[in-house]
Structure formats: structure tokens, C-alpha cells
């Protein structure tokens, strides 16, 4: 999970007047004032592609827009507040909450970098919100490794529930927010077994991820309920092809795909590598070339599907001209520490 936290301090008191405020909250004779403070505990940094650490890039965690939703104990929306650019930049905003009742549980939800939904009446409506923009996060290798391709940045969401403190006391609420997408970095190379068996070289032209989720709920476990476990029922028909980038004899690709629910069984995303084998190692001559293709199933930890906000570092080692042999090792981690997957492909 990103180390982005919203600290909410609520000082409950009777309002002295019924004048309107810029937050467009209905006039009320009683309520609370919530001070929202945004703190970024992860320093901005740019890392080398395929680094062993997974701290988010500056563009992966940048907040361009932020909307706060507050719901009372009956899940009725009592506040919807979009932060101004100045408030995001200053990382603070003071917001009155109408009719705040000491001791009652209030639910705080945030959505970053998305205009959807524009307005909700209750929590059920917010939790049914989905996004279907998987293609908008992807592009060429040079694009996705230097900026956020999706207009507005990476959609992030989070929530927390907290009882309102007694009048005159402070209510502190922290909300950890996470990206809807998972990050898949692929690095492909031939190994020593290949060099010993074949005189030529393999060049990877492109990589494709397929069988990925085409949509995702803003909040875990809430989209298109249909199974006995009330988990999401989502089409896994998203596909994206990217030209491979040659880097010192290795081939690099980077994709973003929607994550599935954390408790869902594995629904393997398929990675397909397309290239050519050149018998004499000189790719300028084409008469001695044959096409090659390798397929690798990608999934999360312990037989589960790839989860949102996780980083998958996939190392592909080619030992032969077919993908008959595949060895997979996976280590679980959040975006701050990669899930490593090493794949050996050969005869």
C-alpha cells in the first residue's frame, strides 16, 4: 500500500451561527469541524527499471485530485468534498461535518485522481462504483517508465471507520490509499544453457499481457456481486501489446493491469513474448531467421490472483527455442517490495 495517509482531526463543538460556507454544506445548528491533513511518508524518487525495490515513482503516487466522502451510521452520505488544488498542494483542509454525533461511527472514504462518481446518496452507491480504463494506464515502454499515461494519474482509493469523539475532543482518522492497478515489469534474456546449445541469438520484438481484468471496483469485494462469496464477477479479456525495449542485451517491458480481489483464486494473466531466432546472430540478414514465441502464466502469491497495488518483477530466462519448460518462483509483497517471478524457458 502506498505510504500516503490522510490524518483527520475532528474537533466537535456547537456552531455559533448558521451562515453558509464554501464547502456547500447545509446550514446546521450543531455538527463538527474536521481538519483533513495529507501526509506523504514516501519520498519521491525515480528508480532504474527493474529495480529490486518497489517504492512508487513520483508520477505513480502523485495526487492531482481528491474527493472525500463521509457517511453516518446509517450509511447516508453527510458530506462530499472535493479538495481544491491549493488544498492538495498545502496538504490540509478544514471541513465542517453537519450533524456529527459524538460516539457514532462515521465512515470516511477517499477517491484520488478520478471524477467518478460525481455525487452519491449513500455508501452502497459509492461502493458499487467501478472503473474500466485499463488501456489508459498503458503505452510504449518509454512512456510508462517516465510518466503517468492515464489522464489525471493513477486512481487510488481508501477507507476507514471511526467513532466521533466527545464534544471538545479530537477524532483522528488515518486512511491508507492504494492504486487500483498492479504493476508488471518484465525482463527477458537468454541464459548460458541457450548459448551452449545454439550458435545464434534470440531477439524479443514484443510482449503481450492478456486475460487481465477489464474492470475493477473502487473498493475490494464490492463489484458485480454474483458468487456465493459475494466477490467480483469480472470479465478477464483485457489485452495489451508493447514493443520490447532492448537494454544491454536484455529486453524490457512494463504493464499496468487491474488487480483482482485479494481473496480470489488465481486467474492467470498470460504473458506472451514474440521474437525471432537468428542462426548466425546477425539480425541484418533475415534468410536464417525463424519466429519464436513464449508463453508464461502470471499470478499472485499462494495460488491467488494478482492483487491491486502490487508490483510484479518477472525475470524470463530463455534456455531454448520453445517455452516447454517453465519454472516459477513468487514472493509476496506490496508495491513497496516486489513480487519476484523467475521463469526459465527452454527445450
Q: Which architecture, in CATH terms, is 4-114+152-179?
A: Sandwich (2.60)
Residues 97-110 have pLDDT tens digits of 778 888 889 898 98
- For residue 119, pLDDT over 80 is answered with yes
**pTM of the prediction?**
0.82
Higher pLDDT, 33 or 322: 322
Q: What is the pLDDT of residue 174?
A: 78
Q: Which percentage of the chain shows pLDDT scores above 70?
A: 70
Higher pLDDT, 207 or 49: 207
Task: For residue 209, give the nearest of 306, 289, 304 by alpha carbon.
Answer: 306
Residues 217-251 have pLDDT tens digits of 999 854 333 333 444 467 889 999 999 999 999 99
Q: What is the pLDDT of residue 72?
A: 93
**pLDDT interval class at 31 (50, 70, 90):** low
Question: Where are the CATH 2.60.40 domain residues in the chain?
Answer: 4-114+152-179, 181-345
Domain 181-345 falls in which CATH fold?
Immunoglobulin-like (2.60.40)
- For residue 267, pLDDT over 80 is answered with no
**pLDDT interval class at 304 (50, 70, 90):** confident
For residues 110-125, b (16+ Cβ closer than 10 Å) or e, as one string? Answer: bbbbbeeeeebeebee
C-alpha dihedral sign at 88, 94, 95, 101: positive
- For residue 205, pLDDT over 60 is answered with yes
Q: What is the pLDDT of residue 116?
A: 87
Q: How far is residue 282's CA from residue 166's CA, in Å, rounded to a whole number?
A: 76
- For residue 69, pLDDT over 70 is answered with yes
Q: What is the pLDDT of residue 4?
A: 52
Residues 135-172 have pLDDT tens digits of 999 999 999 999 999 999 999 998 888 888 777 766 77
Q: What is the pLDDT of residue 160?
A: 85
Q: What is the pLDDT of residue 30?
A: 56
Beta strand 201-212 with 4-13 is: unpaired
The mean of the pLDDT values for the chain is 78
Average pLDDT over residues 266-289: 91
Q: What is the pLDDT of residue 41?
A: 39
Q: How far is residue 298's CA from residue 258's CA, in Å, rounded to a whole number?
A: 13
**pLDDT interval class at 338 (50, 70, 90):** low
**pLDDT interval class at 331 (50, 70, 90):** very low
- For residue 12, pLDDT over 60 is answered with no
Q: What is the pLDDT of residue 60?
A: 92
Amino acid at each position: 500500500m502506498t505510504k500516503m495517509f490522510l490524518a483527520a482531526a475532528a474537533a466537535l463543538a456547537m456552531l455559533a451561527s448558521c451562515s453558509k460556507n464554501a464547502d456547500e454544506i447545509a446550514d446546521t445548528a450543531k455538527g463538527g469541524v474536521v481538519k483533513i491533513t495529507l501526509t506523504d511518508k514516501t519520498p519521491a524518487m525515480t528508480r532504474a527499471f527493474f529495480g529490486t525495490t518497489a517504492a512508487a515513482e513520483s508520477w505513480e503516487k502523485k495526487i492531482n485530485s481528491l474527493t472525500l466522502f463521509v457517511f453516518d451510521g446509517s450509511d447516508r452520505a453527510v458530506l462530499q468534498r472535493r479538495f481544491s488544488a491549493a488544498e492538495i498542494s498545502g496538504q490540509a483542509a478544514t471541513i465542517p461535518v453537519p450533524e456529527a454525533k459524538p460516539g457514532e461511527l462515521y465512515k470516511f472514504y477517499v477517491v484520488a485522481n478520478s471524477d467518478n462518481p460525481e455525487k452519491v446518496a449513500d455508501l452502497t452507491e459509492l461502493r458499487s462504483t467501478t472503473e474500466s480504463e485499463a488501456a489508459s494506464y498503458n503505452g510504449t515502454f518509454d512512456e510508462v517508465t517516465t510518466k503517468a499515461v492515464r489522464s489525471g494519474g493513477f486512481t487510488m482509493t481508501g477507507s476507514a471507520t471511526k467513532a466521533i469523539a466527545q464534544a471538545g475532543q479530537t477524532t483522528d482518522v488515518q486512511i491508507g490509499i492504494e492504486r487500483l492497478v498492479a504493476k508488471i515489469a518484465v525482463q527477458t534474456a537468454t541464459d548460458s544453457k541457450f548459448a551452449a546449445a545454439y550458435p545464434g541469438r534470440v531477439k524479443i520484438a514484443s510482449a503481450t499481457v492478456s486475460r487481465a481484468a477489464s474492470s475493477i471496483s473502487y473498493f475490494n469485494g464490492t463489484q458485480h456481486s454474483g458468487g456465493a462469496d459475494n466477490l467480483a464477477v469480472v470479465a478477464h479479456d483485457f489485452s495489451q501489446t508493447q514493443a520490447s525495449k532492448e537494454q544491454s542485451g536484455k529486453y524490457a517491458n512494463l504493464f499496468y493491469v487491474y488487480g483482482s480481489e485479494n481473496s480470489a483464486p488465481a486467474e492467470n494473466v498470460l504473458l506472451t513474448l514474440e521474437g525471432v531466432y537468428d542462426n548466425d546472430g546477425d539480425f541484418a540478414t533475415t534468410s536464417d531467421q525463424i519466429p519464436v514465441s513464449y508463453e508464461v502464466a502470471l499470478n499472485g502469491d499462494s495460488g491467488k490472483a494478482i492483487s491491486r497495488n502490487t508490483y510484479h518483477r518477472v525475470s524470463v530466462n530463455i534456455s531454448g527455442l520453445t517455452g516447454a519448460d517453465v519454472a516459477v518462483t513468487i514472493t509476496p509483497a506490496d508495491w513497496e517490495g516486489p513480487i519476484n517471478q523467475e521463469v526459465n524457458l527452454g527445450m
